Copies of this chain bind each other. A is one copy, B any other.
Amino acid sequence: MSPNEGPKTLRNVAERAGVSVATVSRVLSGSYPVTRHTRQRVLRAVEELDYVANSHARALRGQATESVAFVVNDVRGPSFALVAHGAEEEAARRGRLCLICTTQGHAERELAVVRTMRAQRAGAVILVGGVMDDERYRRRLAEVARSLEASGSRLVLCGRPPIGDGVPATVIEYDNEAGAHAAVSHLLARGHRRIVFVGADPLGTTTATARLAGYRRALHEHGGDADERLVIESDFERDTAHDRIVGSIRGGLAFTAVFAVTDSAAAGALTALNDCGLRVPEDVSLVGYDDVAPATDLRPRLTTVHVPYEELGRAAVRLPLGLREGTISAADQHLVLGTHLVVRESTAPPPPPARS
């Protein structure tokens, strides 16, 4: 009805209630003594004008709760979605807003995004996921961490190793290497000897490197070293893994088990095996990594390494905010969460050696 032009301000409310802006502010903050009569008049004016305080002005004055910025490669990835959920949940619990940005894996864009977040005076800037383990990039990141710290913000690395001593950053990791070790040990215990690792990354993404290291350690502890022909390069995507596995089988590679670097890659591997007439787990056992959506949709359901992604997200908010509030010490800003193997139906003992 009324031609309400633009948002209302404290002044509008004050005029309507016939008091000063200071009084309105005091009524709304609630922490100052105000006469019952005045309070009611103000509250009615607020109601009638449908007033909502401008959070930018409030932030400027230093009173608003800072937001939390969440920088992710791609929201569509199931593991990213889990981390985002955990982070958002924890942020909401504390009354913080959650900003989200995607980088599509571009380091340049990541730096640009962090700059924007610094302008926003976000309480924490959370970088999620593994990256190229590149020396130059690490140096730039260390610089970013210091910039953020100087701006009163905090850099959080989530699911990614620390960048160095003396760099002010909170780090939430999970034990990638141990998870891979457990997965491969499981296959070894069941009697497998020729175990393919699909997902070796020549570019050296931290996640892929750590999982491959776990694979190698398990084999090494078991007495043999890896046959390098069994280590197959691939990214984390299903189609790539599919094509690489098909190619390897066509090339005559012999194996009885596949350990895939991610569940997505495992999904691709499963299709590839089936395409080549191999059954899982009767002919070939299959293990994935992440324990995300595909794992229970596949048939057979996938044996995989569970990663506590939601807890990762929660910790990525809890730790830096706790540091600001003084409830969590600087020494506790590095957290390593455990992983564990979930055994489902995609693993079995190897078939007896064919005799033809």
Residues of A within 8 A of B (CB): 4, 6-7, 50, 52-57, 59-60, 64, 67, 70, 74-76, 78, 81-82, 84-85, 88-89, 92, 97-102, 115-116, 118-121, 147, 150-152, 267, 274, 293-294, 297-299
Taken together as a complex, chains A and B put the C-alpha atoms of A195 and B297 apart, in Å, by 23
Contacting pair B92 A85 (CB below 8 A): no
Contacts of A92 in B (CB 8 A): 101-102
A85 touching B102 in the complex, CB below 8 Å, given contacts A147-B50, A150-B4: yes
Partner pick for A88 among B102, B116, B150, CB 8 A cutoff: B102
Q: Which are the 8 A-B pairs with shortest beta-carbon distances?
A: A56-B59, A55-B119, A297-B297, A4-B150, A7-B151, A56-B56, A100-B100, A52-B118
What's the least CB distance linking A194 to chain B, in Å? 26
Q: Given the complex, which residues of B lie within 8 Å of A4, measured CB to CB?
A: 150
- Number of copies of this kind of chain in the complex: 2
18 new A-B contacts, CB < 8 A, other than A88-B102, A97-B99, are A4-B150, A6-B150, A52-B151, A55-B120, A56-B120, A56-B121, A74-B85, A75-B75, A78-B81, A89-B102, A98-B101, A99-B99, A99-B100, A293-B294, A294-B297, A297-B297, A298-B299, A299-B299
The residue from B60, B81, B293 contacting A60, defined by CB atoms under 8 A apart = B60
B75 and A81 contact, CB distance less than 8 A: yes
State the Cβ distance, A81 to closest chain B Cβ, in Å: 5
CB–CB A7/B121 < 8 A:
yes
